[in-house]
Amino acid sequence: LLECSADPLVSSTADTPVSRSLHCFLCCTVAVASAEPTGVGPALRVAVTVIRSAGGEQITPGGSASSPRCLYEVLCGFLEALCRVAPDFCGTGRKPMTPPPPSLVAAALLLRSLARSCASAEIEGAGAGKIHDLVASSPGLRRIDGLAR
């Protein structure tokens, strides 16, 4: 799973103080979800707010290391880990999820928004296919992404 001393959630994540702090924060969020199942919803809501806020932080003169691609990849890694520790909350477990928790819908909307930002920024780039691959390769992410439709 995730741990603060581990490598970044994904290899292309920018190695900046903000991205390292975001990684550590999300590791702690997964730990909270694992230790206290009733705290998953509030923890996810805060994580979504923090990730959304990180997108507005300029941390390098030439642009933001919290680019949509970086944030998208971090969010995918975080949601993957969350699905592993809280499968019933994420709708990937045995319990049916009706209706989905509002914080999970918020995460799905952020996932979709960041994917669109990445796609529009890289419409001609070689990395555009990777955006779809992250969600397509994960049943948990496909389930969460489907909540935004």
Beta carbons within 10 angstroms of residue 20's beta carbon: 14
C-alpha gyration radius of the chain? 15
- The full DSSP string for 81-133 is HHHHH-HHHHT-SSS--SSPPHHHHHHHHHHHHHHHHHHHHTTTSTTHHHHHH
Higher pLDDT, 11 or 51: 51
Instruction: Give the mean pLDDT of 59-74.
Output: 66
Token match 């555009």: residue? 128
- 41, pLDDT greater than 60: yes
Q: What is the pTM of this model?
A: 0.80
Q: In DSSP terms, which residues pair with 14 in a beta bridge? A: none
Higher pLDDT, 40 or 134: 40
Dihedral angle computed from the Cα positions of residues 39, 144, 138 and 18, in that order, rounded to the nearest 10 degrees = -60
The predicted structure's pLDDT at residue 36:
92
